[in-house]
Structure 1
């Protein structure tokens, strides 16, 4: 039996990041996939990023991951979402050449030292004394490992639905993983069933794009990766249209043909991303719904029809497509379908994504009840890092909710579990003002360097940038402008209020009508130091300006983080008996016993937890600690 340090099962977005992280950290790693031609395949939309997802991609890059770099190299359309809002909720999204993305990631994985690839289907795990020791494929071949990361996507007992027809598959054209799902069930994991879907792909030459609204890329777009020197020049537009009353009539009159409504589908759908038949039935007052057409690449006719996802029979799908203006003659190249698959309730995982039941076994991606390429990649990297650290006998890697969106994602999963496919939103991150896209590299590159995933020269550049930001803030805070005709006339010319008292340049930057570039107005003020304008790094200037404009809010969030750290540092003893805590409801006792929170902070975030219940747990912990220390020594007796 061949032996490896880490085995990763599944080479989707989670599996690629897991395998790359483990191998780059020095572990001999084996990456197994049912089909090596589908490595990093974009099963659904041809895009990376989006609201809150862009933050995840930049954090993956900051830690030394690959998704952002590959997205930059293969992007053909660029958007900054929420560009008119504050930096806390702005997110990047790129539309990629779908096949080029897959081939680029495949090439990177193939050429990575210490990373070995093999095409096979894994049927079961090898377990000894509560620890995973390897995997067995469908031909009976065994592969040994000290840690195993499972990233099966939608393949775990996958079942595709198109109208009344259904068949076993991981996605269209690929076999499902049935024995592995049964193996996890037999090991005693609490499992559930999720449902997702994908819309039809249309032939571009059969679409009348003149009847649709065209959207081109944003002209100013920052790459996902700081290692990307320049973006490619190839660009593709997107197109917008709408469903019609005829679309809705077709669905309402044939809703009995939908497996969603006939009861054939048992898996739970996501509320925030409903299929078209779901939208029509749930929002009957809406006269139309948006349809977005995205070309899947530079050298293909396939067009992704976002908004037309459904699980109806093909003849109905064709009628629905033809009811949309501009799509009257459109040909369907690939049918829309729904897919059900198994997942493992993530409350059975530690914060490292190692299972509580089996040591050395890690789960990442849709198996943990999430949706989205970005959520999967973030979990994959997290699991791969921790698997490598465990093998090397090093402390685990965990980020808390104040350090990264990744920390929010993992904490939500292992603390609260899921009752529908989990998707990241900016609203989930209570400290989103300090977890922005623009400062991801500043926050996490030092951690990536400590792990061995960031080269020294790249770390040096980021460290230098951090120092220049700090120096720039101090410099602008020390320099003042004084009221006078010359200064106030410049402010008046800019449309900014005059000043009556001395004002630092940092305070001036707080004004909503003032930007870094506007500081140049004072370049000719007598005795004004020229070095204020010396730093031409746009990233440094942007960080200083954000720190100025949001200083009060950022300070309050950092104070909240400090308070949160007190609860997070208070660990709950392993094997703590919640049934012995007076005042806890039976429901909370069961939840706490099942989830086994590691800290009081994690316990506080469990659904239904109250301050009174938290206080009762803390009192019992202190009582237990006192009992372990024994009675306090008697005070000395006086003569």
Structure 2
């Protein structure tokens, strides 16, 4: 253990990706977790992906991470959300067999030669001269390492609430990391308190499905990983069911607001705004007669169902009354009660864009410790922390994704520059260039990095598709079709509306009615392309002018950020810069506008002002 390069603390979704990435990059990695059998456990809902979250999973996969592969191997229902809307806001989601998921994740890590795992609780960080060199566990064992990545989830001073019942747990039934939480506070980190919750689980055989709305997966099922063969991907899909709360349900809840920890003052942590508890929904939306609930199978045996939409910390007897008031659940038996959990997090403005802490060198944070919520957000941070820790040890340049390159870049930039005072989750609306950051093109955006870092073994098929897409778009840009008898006859043969004037190839293929089979008939060059490449050509034609506009904006922004800040440049007398911005610029003395933009608290508006005055002073003004 004296030869550890990277020590990862925590076996959740962030810890899995961090340890896997660093180990795949050739480093000696050790993973410490409270319970080995719970590596990769789905603590809350048994699902991966969703709106914007699906983007993160695809990006993790494009970088060479595990989440997409595990999901494809352990999924029990697959859907595309927002399928009727534009490609930029569509999101893949899969119900998972949560037992299979954790077993697959654990075994995947155990199979890596230079990755070791042990079951211990970390209590203290070992620091010298503002650098971490190791940790100490609850059994007194010391591990020394060049880099340490904390992925502690909800375990830092975790407290579970069910009614008035309070227990010190990081997850129901598992010990809270109390001493480690205290240690971080003593080290001077800005620590806050957040809250999240989970829903009751129901014995499957006690549910009456007869009057419930069935909710099936998509066919063919959409896979997450580009490394999964579409030809062999044919999982058995299991239905979910839809039911609703009602006036009686709401009366039971409102009559017992005084027993809800959320309202009694028992909970002080701030909860997720976009995933509120049922008691919060009933309180805030009192005019609504009902709220939709999804009954989601937790495994392929369908022995337990997760009641999605019913997150609660009400007392157990009130939970039972609530459940029994709902259609289909009149005689349902609760196998696991819902609960709320409060936990510590560290303000993410304490971090660099690499996820290394500013206070302590070689120490990285990833996941809910940074104030995020969700498996996908955690995993995305984990892979970035693992990659950057490995690159630093190898003496190579840091890896920072721009906001224009991926949702991972958007999320990390939001966290480290703005911070958060509530559980942060990713949304498509957070991305300025979401039309370019679609799920469907994640591999084309990011696989080059995965290959460069050694996380992907072969991207030749991606490179071939990328070349074909470029050539296909170029061909269509330079091809104009005229309404000759011959071409009108061709359009009629493929069931396309005729053209009346000269029509550019981009405009023709952009039609909603024009699919990839018609594209193959349009010109022989498209016949040798994969369906993936053809689909990309179709999408890029549809949004051609918008894509061009956003690409131009990004190019302009990049050229601006590359501008150098002259040595000894004086920031103090620039109108439009706040005192805080000036203080930070003087402290860090960035060499370029890009470096300045990465400083916490330096806004885009500040960069615009700085850019203007660099120009004015260069002109002697």
TM-score scaled to structure 2, two decimals?
Answer: 0.93
Tell me, yes or no, if the aligned pair for 2:78 and 2:223 is still in contact at 8 Å: no
Q: Deviations over 1:508-562 (max 9, x none)?
A: 102233223234666xxxxxx6x23422511011011111111100000001111
Query: More deviation in 31-40 or 569-578?
Result: 569-578
- Could you say what secondary structure the match of 2:461 adopts? helix
Measured in 2, the distance between the counterparts of 1:21 and 1:575 equals 40
Equivalence map 1:481-492=2 (5 Å): 481-491=481-491
Query: More deviation in 563-572 or 53-62?
Result: 563-572
2:542 aligned with 1:540 = no
Who is 2:544 aligned against?
Answer: 551
Tell me, yes or no, if the aligned pair for 1:449 and 1:459 is still in contact at 8 Å: yes
Measured in 2, the distance between the counterparts of 1:181 and 1:599 equals 37
Instruction: Name which of 445, 448, 469 aligns with 2:447.
Output: 445
Deviation at 1:500, TM superposition (A): 3.3
Who is 1:276 aligned against?
Answer: 278
Deviation at 1:338, TM superposition (A): 0.2
Tell me, yes or no, if the aligned pair for 2:146 and 2:393 is still in contact at 8 Å: yes
Q: Deviations over 1:199-240 (max 9, x none)?
A: 000001000011210011100233111111132432210000
Query: More deviation in 39-48 or 578-587?
Result: 578-587
- Could you say what secondary structure the match of 2:450 adopts? helix
Tell me, yes or no, if the aligned pair for 1:75 and 1:232 is still in contact at 8 Å: no
Tell me, yes or no, if the aligned pair for 1:3 and 1:143 is still in contact at 8 Å: no
Tell me, yes or no, if the aligned pair for 1:475 and 1:532 is still in contact at 8 Å: no
Q: Deviations over 1:241-277 (max 9, x none)?
A: 1000001001111100001001111111111111000
2:561 aligned with 1:568 = yes
Who is 1:635 aligned against?
Answer: none
- Could you say what secondary structure the match of 2:235 adopts? coil
Measured in 2, the distance between the counterparts of 1:247 and 1:575 equals 67
Measured in 1, the distance between the counterparts of 2:462 and 2:472 equals 15
Measured in 2, the distance between the counterparts of 1:330 and 1:136 equals 45
Tell me, yes or no, if the aligned pair for 2:561 and 2:593 is still in contact at 8 Å: yes
Who is 2:243 aligned against?
Answer: 241
TM-score scaled to structure 1, two decimals?
Answer: 0.91
Deviation at 1:481, TM superposition (A): 3.6
- Could you say what secondary structure the match of 2:118 adopts? strand
TM-aligned CA distance change 1:422 to 1:595, over 3 Å: farther
Deviation at 1:482, TM superposition (A): 3.0
Who is 1:498 aligned against?
Answer: 498
Who is 1:91 aligned against?
Answer: 91
Query: More deviation in 357-366 or 600-609?
Result: 600-609
TM-aligned CA distance change 1:29 to 1:605, over 3 Å: closer
Considering only aligned residues, what root-mean-square deviation do their CA atoms show, in Å?
2.7
Measured in 2, the distance between the counterparts of 1:489 and 1:176 equals 72
- Could you say what secondary structure the match of 1:2 adopts? coil
Measured in 2, the distance between the counterparts of 1:619 and 1:179 equals 49
Measured in 2, the distance between the counterparts of 1:40 and 1:520 equals 43
Measured in 1, the distance between the counterparts of 2:575 and 2:30 equals 49
Measured in 1, the distance between the counterparts of 2:437 and 2:567 equals 31
Who is 1:266 aligned against?
Answer: 268
Deviation at 1:502, TM superposition (A): 3.7
Who is 2:365 aligned against?
Answer: 363
Who is 1:170 aligned against?
Answer: 170
Measured in 2, the distance between the counterparts of 1:102 and 1:135 equals 26
Query: More deviation in 500-509 or 584-593?
Result: 584-593
Measured in 1, the distance between the counterparts of 2:65 and 2:482 equals 48
2:420 aligned with 1:435 = no
Tell me, yes or no, if the aligned pair for 2:98 and 2:298 is still in contact at 8 Å: yes
Measured in 1, the distance between the counterparts of 2:513 and 2:234 equals 34
Q: Deviations over 1:414-448 (max 9, x none)?
A: 01100110000011111111111111111111111
Deviation at 1:91, TM superposition (A): 1.0
Deviation at 1:86, TM superposition (A): 1.1
Tell me, yes or no, if the aligned pair for 1:415 and 1:597 is still in contact at 8 Å: no
Equivalence map 1:587-626=2 (5 Å): 600=593, 603=597, 609=603, 611=605, 613-614=606-607, 617=610
- Could you say what secondary structure the match of 1:228 adopts? coil
Who is 1:636 aligned against?
Answer: none
Measured in 1, the distance between the counterparts of 2:477 and 2:616 equals 50
Equivalence map 1:276-295=2 (5 Å): 276-295=278-297
Measured in 2, the distance between the counterparts of 1:378 and 1:278 equals 29
- Could you say what secondary structure the match of 1:432 adopts? coil
Who is 2:187 aligned against?
Answer: 187
Tell me, yes or no, if the aligned pair for 1:310 and 1:337 is still in contact at 8 Å: yes
Measured in 2, the distance between the counterparts of 1:364 and 1:228 equals 27
Deviation at 1:468, TM superposition (A): 1.6
TM-aligned CA distance change 1:210 to 1:551, over 3 Å: same
Gaps of 5+ in 2: none
Query: More deviation in 562-571 or 320-329?
Result: 562-571
- Could you say what secondary structure the match of 1:211 adopts? coil
Equivalence map 1:288-307=2 (5 Å): 288-299=290-301, 301-307=303-309
- Could you say what secondary structure the match of 2:3 adopts? strand
TM-aligned CA distance change 1:243 to 1:485, over 3 Å: same
2:356 aligned with 1:351 = no
Q: Deviations over 1:323-348 (max 9, x none)?
A: 11110000000000000000000011
Query: More deviation in 402-411 or 590-599?
Result: 590-599
Displacement over 6 Å in runs of 4+: 571-580, 590-599, 604-608, 619-626
Tell me, yes or no, if the aligned pair for 1:73 and 1:231 is still in contact at 8 Å: no
Tell me, yes or no, if the aligned pair for 1:19 and 1:384 is still in contact at 8 Å: yes
Equivalence map 1:145-224=2 (5 Å): 145-224=145-224
Who is 1:525 aligned against?
Answer: none
Measured in 2, the distance between the counterparts of 1:573 and 1:244 equals 65
- Could you say what secondary structure the match of 1:48 adopts? strand
Who is 1:465 aligned against?
Answer: 465
Measured in 1, the distance between the counterparts of 2:282 and 2:587 equals 39
Measured in 1, the distance between the counterparts of 2:322 and 2:42 equals 24
Tell me, yes or no, if the aligned pair for 2:597 and 2:604 is still in contact at 8 Å: no
Tell me, yes or no, if the aligned pair for 2:75 and 2:235 is still in contact at 8 Å: no
Measured in 2, the distance between the counterparts of 1:567 and 1:423 equals 29
Who is 2:228 aligned against?
Answer: 228
Deviation at 1:492, TM superposition (A): 5.6
Q: Deviations over 1:295-352 (max 9, x none)?
A: 0002351110011111100000000001111100000000000000000000111100
2:392 aligned with 1:399 = no
Gaps of 5+ in 1: 523-528, 632-639
- Could you say what secondary structure the match of 1:321 adopts? helix
Q: Deviations over 1:479-507 (max 9, x none)?
A: 55431334335546767543234434433
Measured in 2, the distance between the counterparts of 1:413 and 1:209 equals 43
